[in-house]
Chains A and B, each alone.
Chain A
Amino acid sequence: MEGESIYEVDSGDGLGADIISTVEFNHTGELLATGDKGGRVVIFQREPESKNEPYNQGEYNVYSTFQSHEPEFDYLKSLEIEEKINKIKWLPQQNAAHSLLSTNDKTIKLWKITERDKRPEGYNLKDEEGKLKDLSTVTSLQVPVLKPMDLMVEVTPRRIFANGHTYHVNSISVNSDCETYMSADDLRINLWHLAITDRSFNIVDIKPANMEDLTEVITASEFHPHHCNLFVYSSSKGSLRLCDMRASALCDKHSKLYEEPEDPSNRSFFSEIISSVSDVKFSHSGRYMLTRDYLTVKVWDLNMETKPVETYQVHDYLRSKLCSLYENDCIFDKFECAWNGSDSVIMTGAYNNFFRMFDRNTKRDVTLEASRESSKPRAILKPRRVCVGGKRRKDDISVDSLDFTKKILHTAWHPTENIIAIAATNNLYIFQDKVNSEMH
């Protein structure tokens, strides 16, 4: 992988860059959206490839920046509602405009992004500034013409889906029918129609009658990429539930439950915490699901509920450090995972600004680092290694030297090409594999 570009998401208010909280490519990969802790969304656009400068092909540049959410105050509970963008999901493009959904803890918004590169000139009744002309000066009529202008990107909020959630929204997912989407919080999942903001349907509710009995929460959810009636949600106990909306209006009863029995030899007080699924993603084919828990990524076959078909260790060397990681809260970090376009490689983040990629076919894996030093333009990323005592090679990092404040929680993979976006705190890294740029 080659280092391509680094962007620091700057709040622009003099307070410095803000922490990126979500990263998402659109369906063609032409646009890349990031959300940050300050409620802003920055959209990058890929420059069209030019035969004249083959090395500059496919660079991502800032396309638009807008403030999606503002901090709010819940007067009933006397609590602040953070403006941090938890998730962004693009809608499939249906006309010249692009649309995306962005959400914070409580409110989902639909934004429309349009371009304006022409403007009409030559009005009869108005002058260049829009002021009415003195009619006595008008001696002839002309037909207004469209003249090119500097590209202007306009972003407008088209819908605001508010008051649907008591708890914190952790996921949104657009249905393949392109008409509905779902939003999931800790205890409930709601189904919305993209055009209707004053009504949503509750399709999953795991809130117990008595909150004291609460032992499990929803951690992530996603619609199936092809079957508009199927969706999956993951829980803090490490289970996945596939639900069919045709079965009943309230999908509390799952159609399939995916759960791996606990390994008794590895049992500890932290077993449940590290089994909590932080992210679930369907493969592009729709045949598999990818889940991330604290120490592993797992590939599940939709047809097999008893155990995952593949398990990859992300950073097993942390298994002996779980108590310390519990103490400093790192054990609750929610890492995301991603498939590549052909579902042959999976990727997830780790600590020390490391991220890992696993090739499902060759079973080889690599650890790479997202840092300024290693990411000069067109610099090749060097594989990294964490040593766990014993023989230590040069450039190895020991477990105890890992920086746990540098965590890569959010990663995204271009839908068709080998381009990845890595969010490292307040920096966005975009890496491209020049050798195999096209994957089918």
Chain B
Amino acid sequence: MFLTPVVPHWPFYNLDTMFVRGLKRKCFDGEEDIEGTLAGIKAIPSYNLQRQSLLDMSLVKLQLCHMLVEPNLCRSVLIANTVRQIQEEMTQDGTWQMIHTQSTGQASLDRLVSTDILCRSSREQAEGKHVSGYSAFNKDFEGDQAQDSSETMSTASSVQAPRNLQSNVWEMENPQENKGNFQKSLDQIFETLENKSPNSVEDLFSEVDNSYYDLDTMLTGMMSNTKMGHCDGLETFSSPTATASNSNFKSDLNELDHIVEILVES
């Protein structure tokens, strides 16, 4: 077996150092236990990967709003500005332009953590070009950065004690919980999504009133119909338009996807 997923942390632990520009990139140091064939591999998550994950996180935050009470407008605006900043930088980098030439590929499991699935229908409404962008960006990224990713993904937090899906995913949005531990909420949300089998991914998505995703609606907390509870939010994400079947998942596997598949099925 290539991978011994025993490291109970997320490789983006060094996300913090990556995002303070001007600091030298630090090696992935031996603070964390790295076992097996991974011992000695000093993988530095690439800047693009880090930036992408920050973008993903931000979009998840925007979606995961308390809808029983009006969301905090200041927080929403700050997150939206962060998203814009990242997008602007991606445009300047030229990584954004590559996007338009790519087609929307099938969703592979690692895209569960990408903005693609989480906001496909919403972005289709608001900013059409971004939709294909995210999925294609990841696709492109996989090709170029596979080496990087495989190293980092292989140290991903993966196999942990199974936890309740609903409470996990939504712990992040509740500002009262999960404050003590830096990585726990990010761990949980990604790991939980990874642990789900492909079939249940589709179960997570169902039809929703798309007007919810209008930025104005989101920022002002206006909702036409649904009032969601904490744990119902996942069900409101609409299904991706190009959802692949299981067979497609496996047929396109490169090393990275193979690893992810192992994580999912374990």
Contact = CB atoms under 8 A, between A and B. Distances in A.
Contacts of B222: 77
A186 B54 CA distance: 26
B221 A79 contact: yes
B77 A267 contact: no
A78 B182 CA distance: 34
A327 B57 contact: yes
Contacts of B61: 329
Given A269-B85, A270-B82, A323 B74 contact: no
B19 A268 contact: yes
Nearest to A167: B73
Contacts of A306: none
A66 interface: no
Interface string B214-240: 011001111100010000000000000
A217 B21 contact: no
Given A320-B17, A321-B182, A217 B74 contact: yes
Which of B70, B78, B185 lies at the interface centre, i.e. has the most chain A CB atoms within 10 A of its CB?
Answer: B78
Which of A269, A319, A322 lies at the interface centre, i.e. has the most chain B CB atoms within 10 A of its CB?
Answer: A269
A80 interface: yes
Contact of A269 (B74, B86, B221): B86
Interface stretch (B102-110, B155-163, B171-179, B199-207): B171-179
Nearest to A274: B78
A272 B16 contact: no
Contacts of A329: 61, 75, 172, 175, 179
Interface stretch (A40-48, A196-204, A208-216, A342-350): A208-216
Interface string A312-342: 0000000111111111111010000000000
Contacts of A404: 179-180
B20 interface: yes
B143 to A, nearest CB: 25
B221 A77 contact: yes
B178 A265 contact: no
Contacts, number: 125
B78 A324 contact: no
B39 interface: no
Contact of B182 (A212, A215, A266, A324): A324
Given A80-B68, A82-B69, A330 B185 contact: no
A405 B23 CA distance: 28
A332 B75 contact: yes
Given A77-B222, A77-B223, A324-B15, A236 B21 contact: no
Counting chain B residues whose Cβ lies within 8 A of the other chain, the interface size class is 35 or more
Given A168-B72, A327-B172, A330-B179, A236 B215 contact: no
A167 B20 CA distance: 34
A405 B68 contact: no
B69 A403 contact: no
Main secondary structure of the interface of B (DSSP, over half): helix
Contacts of B184: 328
Interface in A238-282: 265-270, 272-273, 276
A45 B84 CA distance: 50
A219 B74 CA distance: 8
A216 B178 contact: no
Contact of B22 (A217, A266, A325): A266
A269 B221 CA distance: 25
A323 B16 contact: yes
B20 A332 contact: no
Contacts of B227: 78-79
A151 to B, nearest CB: 38
Nearest to A84: B69
A124 B84 CA distance: 78
A217 B71 CA distance: 14
Contacts of B69: 79-82
B57 A326 contact: yes
A354 B51 CA distance: 32
A216 to B, nearest CB: 7
B160 to A, nearest CB: 17
B78 A323 contact: no
A322 B172 contact: no
B85 A328 contact: no
Interface string A280-323: 00000000000000000000000000000000000000011111
B81 interface: yes
A273 to B, nearest CB: 5
B179 A405 contact: yes
B183 interface: yes
B186 interface: yes
B178 to A, nearest CB: 6
Contact of B73 (A186, A324, A328): A186
Given A79-B69, A327-B57, A332 B82 contact: no
Which of B51, B81, B183 lies at the interface centre, i.e. has the most chain A CB atoms within 10 A of its CB?
Answer: B81
Contacts of A215: 77, 80-81, 84
Nearest to A219: B74
Interface of B: 12, 15-23, 51, 54, 57, 61, 67-70, 72-75, 77-78, 80-82, 84-86, 172, 175, 178-186, 215-216, 219-223, 227
28 contacts: A77-B222, A79-B69, A79-B223, A79-B227, A80-B69, A168-B73, A211-B216, A211-B220, A215-B77, A215-B81, A217-B74, A267-B21, A269-B19, A269-B51, A272-B78, A273-B82, A276-B78, A319-B20, A321-B16, A322-B16, A328-B172, A328-B179, A328-B184, A330-B179, A332-B75, A332-B78, A404-B180, A405-B179
Interface of A: 77-82, 105, 167-168, 186-187, 210-212, 214-217, 219, 236, 265-270, 272-273, 276, 319-330, 332, 400, 403-405
Given A78-B223, A267-B21, 11 more contacts: A211-B220, A217-B77, A236-B74, A269-B51, A269-B82, A272-B81, A322-B19, A323-B18, A330-B179, A404-B179, A404-B180
Instruction: Rank and list the top 7 A-B pairs by shortest CB-CB distance, nearest first.
Output: A324-B182, A211-B216, A405-B179, A323-B15, A404-B179, A186-B73, A323-B16
